Structure 1
Amino acid sequence: MRAYVLVAMVIGLFLTSCAAPPPERPGVAERTVNPSFVHGTDHGGIDRLAATVVSDAQRYWAQAYPAAFGGPWHDLDGGFFSVDTAGTGSSPPCSSSASEVEGNAYYCQSVDAIAWDRTALLPVLREHYGDAAVAVVLSHEIGHAVQQRADLTGGEPMHLEATADCFAGSFMRWVSDDRAPHLRANPDQLDDALRAITVFRDPVGSGDEHGTAFDRVSAFQAGFTGGPGGCPDLRPSSLTEPVEPDPNAALDAAMNTAGAERFFGELVTARGARWTAPRLGDCPNAPRPVSYCAAPPRVSTDREALEALRDGTGDQAVTTLVASRYAAAALAQLGRPVTGAAVNCLTGAYTAEQADLSPGDLDEAVQVTLSPDAIPLDSRRSGPTTAFDRFAAFRSGALGGSSACT
């Protein structure tokens, strides 16, 4: 049984971080499938969406599995189970009671079935991250069924979860390429799905098996860009060592620019240019919460907005966002275009070089990279148009260093 996420974490994060209802998002289903084949369904909108996702996912694997792993695909023998965890319905496979499924979606290997909580998991995902988040959760669980068929179930738990994330990414690429019978996904919806994945990272120090946000989003993107064939070869990054969670640093400590000035100064001078460290100061009409102005080089900060970011995401989110504007300054002083891809790549390189970087810190950096706060880079607001692109660039720098960026 591979549980996807615990409701306590999901609900807790939403209640503490969302002061206002999230904006309504467009659906991903052009038309839905009748969920009558789902055991325990109430025939409502959530189950119609879930039934549509698993139907299209099985159609995808009927095409993709033979090429990736040889042999034919066969649909799940044990079927699909929708569970009303607030009611008194019967328990699905691999659970002793309906309440045990609360907050979960999982693949039950012993009977080749998938179950989901239609009361406390899928509706919350849909409300806060849109239909694409539901599609990612359920296609991840079908990814575990792929592992069963391809005899890939003997690895370490974290590797199995990364592989399932990768399989989900390959399916979502098929959907975004308009090849699915019922589903469509635009770039904004994919970005919502990536943000949802960061919520499902394992708590630092928990010893759980799903992995960090960095590894989960990396695995999803590997499947999205490379297809399912390379998914079994994925391995987690070695950027950090497991540590116990540490408290947030004070805002002034998180905004300390000494490390960024040193890192980017050495980068610029090593390439034969002169480094002038930007000064903290106001930029005309600067977008919040942090902006870079080229002449003279300045970094404008909004303390109130950064305090909210620190409280909501973490101190490393502030450090990463401020460092990204120093990356923009380095590119400008090297005479390079200040593009979003280069800025995010150099920010990833800087983040990975921090000596005290913990898994929790890295995940906070990932969260802010995926957030809209990362978009404005300078007065021209140049940058990648999607969170997907921002993370891909950040990851290149984190794993490849600054040489991968300039």
Structure 2
Amino acid sequence: MRRRLVAVAAAMSVLGASACSTEIQGEIRSEGTIAGLPITHFESGMKPSAPQPELTIENVSNTEDDRLAAAAIADVSAFWAEQFPQHFDQPFEPVGKLMSYDSNTDKIDVCGATTADVAMNAFYCPPEDLVAWDRGTLLPLLREKFGPMAVVTVLGHEFGHAVQYRLGPKAGVDQQTSTIVKEQQADCFTGAYFRWIAEERSQYFDVSTSEGLNQVLASLFFIRDSPGQSHAADGAHGTAFDRTYAFQLGFEADAAKCATIDQADVDARITERPFDPDDAGMGDITVNDQTLGLLQQSLDESFAGAGVPGPKIVNQGGSCPGGVSTPPASYCEDTNTVTVDMAALAELGQPIDREAEFTGQGSGGLGDFAAFAEVVSRYVQGIQVGLNVPVDNANAGLRTACLVGAWTAAIDHPGAALRPSPGDLDEAIAELMLPRSLISADVNGHPAVNGFARIEALRLGYFDGSGACSSKYP
């Protein structure tokens, strides 16, 4: 986050009331649906009954990752064979060439790229109509960290690029089309493909709408641009916030909607941008008493229009002696305070170590915004309690994540006590992907069921404001 010395009020609209219920503390809520589909819980991956793919793959091995890749390619090809006539009134021409390689041992010279260029990568090469993937490093890393559906995600994305070049003007893609537009379309096409799998139309894969989609979104988070990159840069893929938006758009709409993504659409909503000159510390500030004081100032001004006293943020251990505790930050209704465990928040607020993400040996820090957003989530519980809005019903966790998004957008203006920096929204997404996310939890610490619904709620508040939070999550 960026800190400023002068604050300007940013009033936000306030919620209306609805009915109340209670639940055992700690249980993850499973009410509702995910984009109109039932919430399901099972191990996602290849079906035991999956057929043997009939594909010609250059340099293919008998490894688990190549078997998974071959099934993914056969499956996404079947998806597009169905979708092209349905949405674009033309047949789908199969990709002309498929290639597997091991960047640790193979000498690669394809599409003008060398082994060094394609290590830890998967790509589509238009001149050769080629989809290729690194079975030596990339695929096993994704499978081990996020499960088999992460491999399917990457190859589904690369086929999305093949789709663009087959559609041409129907997707608005030509040699002048920016990288970010092509990447957003490919992520959206991937979302449409995964909807097809979730609807049980795939011969090869099953994906649950809870843990399975979490694997997919986690892999999109993992393969994101670093904070401070401009979306206008050649090679830009987007932030995790931008990538998950495009995937969810495809999952909730269809492939035809994905083909409408153009430069104007991207310019209007994309969040990837360079750091400002005054972004000291590459966008991360220390979480301490002073910066939580700035957070208090920001929240009080943002919610001044609510007409109720906002809770005070106090460094008193993160637990409520007389009520439910959700450390490292808890809303204590009897004292109207948000009590925090400063040491735990400061640890959470350590910058994300991008190199350590590949090894799993990082400090556990998710960035300053993840820590601040957890406190914000408890503060908005107090605002809602003051307005007699229930904070322990099925919608409360998603409404909370939505309000955190609305506050984030409302403070993004010159002169604010705190302003979001590039990468902050991705830090919030990292927290939302935690099994026990506090940003998406009700007052008792019950998180919403999965990352898909949580991220969607944050995004709704960010783009549409707090009024949308009460409408969507009454």
TM-score by length of 2: 0.74
Counterpart among 285, 299, 314 of residue 249 in structure 1 = 285
1:120-139 equivalences in 2 (<5 Å): 120-139=137-156
Counterpart residue type for residue 165 of structure 1: D
Counterpart among 308, 316, 330 of residue 383 in structure 2 = 330
Q: Tell me which residue corresponds to 1:299.
A: 338
Deviation string 1:216-241 (CA, Å, 9 cap, x unpaired) is: 11000000111111113333325575
Give the Cα separation in 2 of the matches to 1:254 and 1:213.
26
Shift in Å at residue 59 of structure 1? 0.6
Shift in Å at residue 197 of structure 1? 1.0
Q: Closer, same or farther in 2 for the Cα pair 1:28/1:224, shift >3 Å?
A: same
Give the Cα separation in 1 of the matches to 2:329 and 2:453.
20
Q: Tell me which residue corresponds to 1:216.
A: 243
Give the Cα separation in 2 of the matches to 1:383 and 1:371.
10
Counterpart residue type for residue 354 of structure 1: I
Give the Cα separation in 2 of the matches to 1:88 and 1:144.
25
* 1:404 and 2:436 correspond: no
Counterpart among 130, 133, 142 of residue 116 in structure 1 = 133
Q: Tell me which residue corresponds to 2:157.
A: 140
Q: Helix, strand or coil: the match of 1:74?
A: coil
Give the Cα separation in 2 of the matches to 1:314 and 1:294.
28
Q: Which moved more, 1:245-254 or 1:44-53?
A: 245-254
1:76-91 equivalences in 2 (<5 Å): 76-78=95-97, 80-89=98-107, 91=108
Q: Helix, strand or coil: the match of 2:338?
A: strand
RMSD of aligned Cα (Å): 2.3
1:387-398 equivalences in 2 (<5 Å): 387-398=451-462
Question: CA contact under 8 A between 2:150 and 2:219: conserved in structure 1?
Answer: yes
Question: CA contact under 8 A between 1:264 and 1:330: conserved in structure 2?
Answer: no
Q: Tell me which residue corresponds to 1:28.
A: 45
Give the Cα separation in 2 of the matches to 1:368 and 1:133.
19
Give the Cα separation in 2 of the matches to 1:251 and 1:384.
26
* 1:164 and 2:186 correspond: yes
The alignment covers a number of residue pairs equal to 376
Q: Closer, same or farther in 2 for the Cα pair 1:258/1:117, shift >3 Å?
A: same
Q: Tell me which residue corresponds to 1:18.
A: none
TM-score by length of 1: 0.86
Q: Tell me which residue corresponds to 1:230.
A: 257
Q: Tell me which residue corresponds to 1:196.
A: 219
* 1:283 and 2:283 correspond: no
Give the Cα separation in 2 of the matches to 1:193 and 1:341.
20
Give the Cα separation in 2 of the matches to 1:220 and 1:397.
18
Structure 2: unaligned runs, 5 residues or longer: 1-41, 351-364, 413-418
Structure 1: unaligned runs, 5 residues or longer: 1-24
Q: Closer, same or farther in 2 for the Cα pair 1:95/1:190, shift >3 Å?
A: farther
Q: Tell me which residue corresponds to 1:353.
A: 410
Give the Cα separation in 1 of the matches to 2:328 and 2:130.
46
Deviation string 1:282-330 (CA, Å, 9 cap, x unpaired) is: 3246233323233333323233332232122211111112111112222
Counterpart residue type for residue 40 of structure 1: N
Shift in Å at residue 343 of structure 1? 0.6
Q: Tell me which residue corresponds to 2:65.
A: 46
Higher helix share: 1
Question: CA contact under 8 A between 1:242 and 1:359: conserved in structure 2?
Answer: yes
Q: Closer, same or farther in 2 for the Cα pair 1:34/1:316, shift >3 Å?
A: same
Q: Tell me which residue corresponds to 2:358.
A: none
Give the Cα separation in 2 of the matches to 1:36 and 1:73.
16
Give the Cα separation in 2 of the matches to 1:35 and 1:82.
15
Q: Helix, strand or coil: the match of 2:201?
A: coil
Give the Cα separation in 2 of the matches to 1:179 and 1:394.
30
Deviation string 1:34-73 (CA, Å, 9 cap, x unpaired) is: 5862211111100011111111101111111222222111
